[in-house]
Chain A
């Protein structure tokens, strides 16, 4: 059926109209509603403020940190004091400054990873869920194989291959993180594609890609967004774990997990070396979890 036949032209106008209606981004009032509901969740708001604060800290690190991340002072393994809020480490570096600069590392890694993981995951999941059949089966088998291997093993193995660095970690976490995303995207698509408006779109002759991305995806977005937020938290934890095990960024990068690992040797006298980076990780992840929870409640009005 060529684009030139008259009937088709008429159909295209209808196509256009219906398409605009079906795929119009939700009118602003919806987003305002979501924001309003989100605001009411105090914990979620606190989380959001913390994240924003963290981003600011990362951006303005040089202004906030009194010392450089690799700058040595002559106080070794010092306890927290006026000069050194979080104390100093084994070779005299100020822990507070390192934690501040560490925010950059964590945010960089987690955001980059999440983008990669979500990108791959949404693509794979959408195709598996929408096309079903062989594509679905194949993709599910692949994810099953990956999921069968204990996560840490997989991550450590790949990390040792790709090198112990920030980029290496991003690659590792991105390549392993998409599995969960693809699962939920797939189930979203599986159920959404049975809905009648998809049938209607198909009857009007829309291409499958169009249906997938402009009609189904916007509706599948809600669980994806929530998952994404929580994913960032998981990624930070995973990155911390890998850094702790020694397969992440190496010294002198102020990765929080690495700092904990460096401090573990002398708990009795230098607990602050473990405590402060550890708290930084915990609070950051907590903030993302709270925001994720808040988003989920705000996006789903029925939950009230």
Chain B
């Protein structure tokens, strides 16, 4: 087992290396001169001297291999540089955005687990009932709505419309930014629990972000439960005289959970690092949207720095999933046993 874990950990290194190098290379293929962009964009017509200064400052004139090596040298020391756009330290940006993303993802995940799993299990138990059919259509519909459309619909329903028609203050939710003006880390209890007004800003983005994943989790859970239901050992359990509920909970659930766990872990990673659409719709300053805009702005340090963290996160999550599989399933843990 330990050797397995070590091997997987080692695999992370080349993956990260190649992923980031790929982005690095891609950046150089991107049209648009970063220096010009930094100096104020093409329409502000920066003069050549400014552009040259910027090139010097950020080493953009050096040959590609040199830049590549310099980049990795710095990165290995965790010197992620400064944003081309704003000059702020990437570490600082990273810290702030990561916190925001984590908080949002945390609640989205909770919603996904609670709602997704219970809906999935329930519809599997009450197979073919009306509730099951409704959930099937419901989850299919939920996974079909584009995230940003859902976000705007929710915004409209819960914030814009009440606002426009002057509903009482307490019914209205907020639609953008991460908190009332002047809010900071103090607004969060135990790092993730929103205090005071904060939850009004959190609720819509969290639900939006959770929606699609919840639908998929519910579907997968149902499918997994149904598949396990057909397994021979379920028949044995029935022949022993176990009641249906016991059979489902004690025997079925643990086996059915396995594939769902993978999904949940990967979703969590995606929610933290790739929630571009939700973050854009709600102006929630998280990792995803920052990375996306850094591509458009040709802000290489920000792009690479934040992506590095996200890639590392993904890899570690993947590893945790594989390890937990072993914990759940003794066949993996102890190695495939004797055949006959």
- Residues of A with Cβ closer than 8 Å to B? 43, 141, 144-153, 156-158, 160-161, 233, 237, 240-241, 244-247, 257, 260, 264, 267-268, 271, 274-275, 278-279, 281-283, 285-286, 289-290, 293
Contact = CB atoms under 8 A, between A and B. Distances in A.
A149 B270 contact: no
**Prevailing SS type, chain A contact patch:** helix
Contacts of B23: 149, 153, 157
Contact of B149 (A43, A152, A274, A286): A274
A237 B146 CA distance: 6
Given A43-B137, A267-B152, A267-B155, A153 B274 contact: yes
A278 B288 contact: no
Nearest to A257: B146
A157 B281 CA distance: 20
Contacts of B136: 43
Interface size class of B (residues with CB under 8 A): 35 or more
Contact of B26 (A161, A237, A247, A279): A161
Contacts of B265: none
B149 A260 contact: yes
Interface string B87-111: 0000000000000000000000000
A149 B307 contact: yes
A163 to B, nearest CB: 9
A152 B155 contact: no
Contact of A152 (B31, B153, B274, B314): B274
A58 B310 CA distance: 40
Nearest to A159: B295
Interface in B139-166: 140-141, 143-149, 152-153, 155-156, 160-161, 163-164
A152 B288 contact: yes
Contact of B314 (A148, A268, A289): A148
B213 interface: no
A124 B152 CA distance: 39
Nearest to A277: B149
A289 B144 contact: yes
B285 interface: no
Interface string B217-231: 000000000000000
Contacts of B163: 268
A153 B291 contact: yes
A181 B30 CA distance: 28
Given A241-B147, A267-B160, A286-B144, A150 B15 contact: no
Contacts of B277: 152, 241, 244-245
B296 interface: yes
B148 A244 contact: yes
Contact of B144 (A151, A260, A285): A285
A60 to B, nearest CB: 24
Contacts of A160: 30-31, 295-296
Contacts of B311: 148-149
B273 A150 contact: yes
Given A237-B146, A278-B153, A282-B145, A148 B315 contact: yes
Given A149-B311, A260-B152, A267-B160, A245 B30 contact: no
A244 B145 CA distance: 14
Contacts of A275: 153
Nearest to A269: B164
A153 B311 CA distance: 11
A43 B139 CA distance: 13
B144 A156 contact: no
Contacts of B114: none
A145 B18 contact: yes
Contacts of A240: 146, 148
A139 to B, nearest CB: 14
B60 interface: no
